[in-house]
Amino acid sequence: MQNIRPSIADQDIVCDETAAPPTAMIVFGASGDLAKRKLFASLFQLSNRGLLSEHFYLLGAGRKKLSDQTFRQSAQQAIQERSDNLPSKEIEAFVSKLYYVSGDYGDISFYKNIKAKLIKLDKKYKIDSGDPASRESSHIFYLAVPPFLYITIAEQLGSVGLSCPRKPDSRQRPRLVVEKPFGRDLQSAADLNNKIHQCFDESQIYRIDHYLGKETVQNILMFRFANAIFEPVWNRNYIDHVQITIAESIGIEHRGSYYDKVGALRDMFQNHMLQMLALAAMEPPASFEADSIRDEKVKLLRSIRPFKLEPWSTSIVRGQYGPGVINGKEVAGYRSEPSVEPGSKTETFVAAKLFIDNWRWKDVPFYLRTGKRLVRKDTEVAIIFKKVPHSMFVSSGLAEAPRSGPPNVLVLQIQPEEGISLSFQAKRPGSKICMSTLNMDFNYRTVFGVDMPGAYQRLLLDCMVGDQTLFTRADDVKVTWQFLTPILQAWEGDDPAPYEYPAGSESFPAADRLIESDGRKWRKFSIIES
């Protein structure tokens, strides 16, 4: 195995990390699972890296009645569980800036109390103080709550004046962060957008997809557009097909009642899968500005060829895991999971073949698959290049190679080990003609010697500095739901139940036929080792 180690000369390092301005973050659902698992630890890490302003505070808001002290203790415990080898003194200093207010999400008095608390805390932390350093400061409202509460909270914030700039002509515009799923289909997403837009302008809305915060997903743009050697071959002339995989070994865990109403197409495909597809296939943007990049993503998504209505099995297949074995341990099938309907038709696996009808990608198939309870966790974008058009080695006795041998494959590994791998043919030592496939691997952890920062760190910081590049725009949401809603409608009608696959497998026959009918095969789940 060949390892790539980058030059660390000063002239080779180009960095741009903007620290956050004075910020007040208001987290609805602050006593819930998302805040404890992701938000508190991510904000603390930003603080520990010197990227949070000293004029920062967090106000938790939720139904659960908590004192400031109890809320801080809960947050401190959550941070300590996810932040190794850091002095408790630093954590204590951070959580001292956390506050809490309780109430009912539908009660206007709750939001009046929040507004009164913000006025008091803004003064204490010198936010919007008139100082030039605070001119970009903002209130950020983070909705870490179930989706059915989004409209209620947005409307109530508008009713008490918290969705508008705090002063006329102020650049200090409140921001609204919304977690996925953003709607359940085209109509519900349109309704949600219309309601929220009555209170917040599109420039204030940050629809968060944590996959876009992962380092290797972001690196797709750098890899493609900062290197002259790849973009010339990034097209139908050189690429045979593309495979995008998000495989999870876990099941639905404690989310049975939620997942049974959602399924893999809504939970993973509409957002994570299509966003990675857009980054891998979009045209070069004019600049690295948010709307330039998002314009190209939307153009690409609009170019995806609609699925054939009949027969479904030639372009998209769904499955549901049954009983099986994961890491030597027997696990239950999906229908036996807690809070799942015994006769549920909810899919836990989706495989699809897509085509992009534009000049660059005409007739190049994109094979996408995502599933739960598979043999291993693996997320990657694999670019499979065409084989050489003519083998000159046949006359030397290699009658079958490399014309029918493995093609060059470029793999962008997203998780669990972030990295890049390129396979190519080379001569092996020894006899005159002896070829084999070699891999050139780049592993982030090995090369840079640090743990990769969490996706939420990147996204929270971008929100605070007002960078919407990695956040989904309204027209992006509309296009993806336009594409997928016909499938959802067919599956919810008389369409047959999902194929069952055993937990611990990589795939199942119906999903294999989708790619094998084209003379290709799914890649084996792989890990770029440290």
Long-range residue pairs from 265-269, CB within 8 A, at least 24 positions apart, any chain: 265/318, 265/347, 265/350, 265/484, 265/487, 265/488, 265/491, 266/181, 266/184, 266/488, 267/181, 268/350, 268/370, 269/350, 269/352, 269/368, 269/370, 269/484
DSSP 233: G
Euclidean distance between CA atoms 501 and 508, whole angstroms: 6
3-state secondary structure of 100: strand
24 membership: H or E segment, kind and range: strand 23-28
Q: Give the closest residue to 273 by CA, choosing from 208, 368, 180, 184.
A: 368
Q: Which residues are catalytic?
A: 272
Q: How far is CA 143 from CA 113, 117, 370, 473, in A?
A: 17, 18, 26, 17
Do the Cβ atoms of 99 and 119 come closer than 8 Å?
A: no
Tokens of 440: 């050139």
Q: CA-CA distance, 109 to 107, in Å (whole number)?
A: 5
Q: How far apart are CA 158 and CA 164, in angstroms?
A: 7
What residues are paired with 368 via a beta bridge?
244, 352
What's CA 126's distance to the chain center, in Å? 34
Q: What type of residue sits at position 450?
A: V
Helix (H, G, I), strand (E, B) or coil at 40: helix
Helix (H) or strand (E) holding 480: helix 474-491
